[in-house]
Structure 1
Amino acid sequence: MEFLDLPKRTSGTRTYGITSIVDFGVPLKELENILYDYGHIIDIAKLGIGSAYLTPNVDKKVSLYKKFDIKPYCGGTLFEKAYYQNRLPEYTEYLKSLGMDWIEISNGTIEIPLEERLNLVAQLKKDFHVIAEVGSKDVNKEMSTSDWVDEVWSLLEAGCCYVITEGRDSGTSGIYDKSGLIKSDLVDELLKEIDCNKIIFEAPLPKYQMYFINKIGANVNLGNVKLSDVLILEAQRCGLRCETFFMEQNECKLLL
């Protein structure tokens, strides 16, 4: 029975308001139990880092996610490993053999020039839905705000479905500084220049999730969410936590 006025959430096959979880190896049966209850509030599942390459029954895990209408893909580290070893054709065949039709292009660990990444998007979008990630995992590598905006814009223009802002699972790189503080000026500039519905902000901790919900609205796209935090995040989106308590029905800000 519903009796509260809550922020209106997108539903069904969402194009924004996305929750993208990171799977670091949850066992298959445990995952099935989690998805039975919470699959409807998960949209995308990243098999974190290069873990998919070592995951037992990875094909069954991919099929399980798809059964719940969740889009699975492999973390960018596996893409970068394949790129580094000149194995991209083998990698894409591997993804196809698993039934994956989403692929991430990133340069978090190795340097891949933007022009090269744009060429890869042009090639891979023929067979996959492409997600790109901007930002380095190295906390000592800094990008200017203008470079961030240029890269995100260019990757979207090249045909990416979404661009992820790097944050790691620790919240200590990319859009966060090494102490874990959000680079709010950078976020402000991205929101001013880019359609926020096309950005997935990596927000691995509830405090970051609350920041983006309060700043953008209940239907902000959030990534690197832990499976154990999925229900907490949905409660936050719906104004059912102290820090988002006063969100109203009309406060779902879409910065288009």
Structure 2
Amino acid sequence: MRFLDLPERTSGKRTYGITSIVDFGIPSKELENILYDFGHIIDIAKLGIGSAYVTPNVEKKISLYKKHDITPYCGGTLFEKAYHQNKLTEYIEYLKGLEIDWIEVSNGTVDIPLNDRLDLVSHLKKDFHVIAEVGSKDANKHMSTSDWVDEVRSLLENGCKYVITEGRDSGTSGIYDKSGLIKSELVDELLKEIDCNKIIFEAPLPKHQMYFINEIGPNVNLGNVKLSDVLILEAQRCGLRCETFFLEENKCRLPL
């Protein structure tokens, strides 16, 4: 029985309000049980780092995600490994063999110039839904706010479905400082310049998730979410936690 007035959540095949989880190797049987209960509140599943390449029964896991209408894709580290070894052609065939039609273009570990990434997006979007990640995994690398905005905008304009803001699974790089604090001025500038419904903010910890929910609204796109946090994240989105209790309606403009 539903009787509370809660913030309105997107549902079904979401284009925003997305929860993107990171799978670091959860066993297939355990995943099957989790998806039975929580599959409807998961939209995207990233097979984290390069783990897909060494995952037993990876085809079964991909099939499980698809069964629950969840989009699976391989983490950017696997893309960067293939790029670094000049094996992108083989990587593309590998993804097609797994029937994965999303591909991430990132430069979190390997320094790939923006123009080269834009060329890759133009090439890959013929066969894949392309998502890109902006920001380095190295917390010591500085990137100006204007460069962040320019990269996110350029990648979207060139055909990326979404752009992910780097945060790692620890929340200590990219849009976070070394201590895990959110670079709020950077986030504010991104929100001023870019449609927030096209950005997936990596938010690995509940404190990060609550920040973005309160700052942007219940239908903010969040990534690098741990499977164990999926239900509590949905409760947060619905104003069912102290820190989001007085949650406003979605502040982001809706897609045209």
TM over 0.5: yes
User: Which category describes the TM-score, using the shorter chain as reference length?
Assistant: over 0.9
Number of paired residues? 254
Alignment of 1:8-47 (within 5 A): 8-47=8-47
Match of 1:200 in 2: 200
Inter-partner Cα distance in structure 2 for 1:26 and 1:117: 31
**In the alignment, structure 1 residue 252 sits paired with structure 2 residue 250:** yes
Inter-partner Cα distance in structure 2 for 1:88 and 1:233: 35
Inter-partner Cα distance in structure 2 for 1:64 and 1:102: 16
Match of 1:221 in 2: 221
Deviation at 1:89, TM superposition (A): 0.5
Deviation at 1:255, TM superposition (A): 3.6
Give the match's secondary structure for 2:132.
strand
Deviation at 1:185, TM superposition (A): 0.2
Inter-partner Cα distance in structure 1 for 2:86 and 2:139: 26
Inter-partner Cα distance in structure 1 for 2:167 and 2:96: 28
Letter in 1 for 2:240: L
Question: After superposition, what is the alpha-carbon deviation per residue over 1:183-207, rounded to whole angstroms, capped at 9, x for unaligned?
Answer: 0000000000000000000000000
Alignment of 1:110-125 (within 5 A): 110-125=110-125
Letter in 1 for 2:252: L
Gaps of 5+ in 2: none
Inter-partner Cα distance in structure 1 for 2:115 and 2:233: 36
Question: After superposition, what is the alpha-carbon deviation per residue over 1:33-70, rounded to whole angstroms, capped at 9, x for unaligned?
Answer: 00000000000000000000000000111111001000
Give the match's secondary structure for 1:30.
helix
Q: Contact between 1:216 and 1:255, CA under 8 Å: does it hold in 2? A: no
Match of 1:134 in 2: 134
Give the match's secondary structure for 2:225.
strand
Letter in 2 for 1:62: I
Match of 2:176 in 1: 176
Give the match's secondary structure for 1:163.
strand
Letter in 1 for 2:189: E
Give the match's secondary structure for 1:164.
strand
Gaps of 5+ in 1: none
Inter-partner Cα distance in structure 2 for 1:30 and 1:228: 11
Match of 1:212 in 2: 212
Give the match's secondary structure for 2:45.
strand
The normalised TM-score by structure 1 is: 0.98
Q: Contact between 1:212 and 1:220, CA under 8 Å: does it hold in 2? A: yes
Give the match's secondary structure for 1:228.
helix
Inter-partner Cα distance in structure 2 for 1:66 and 1:114: 32
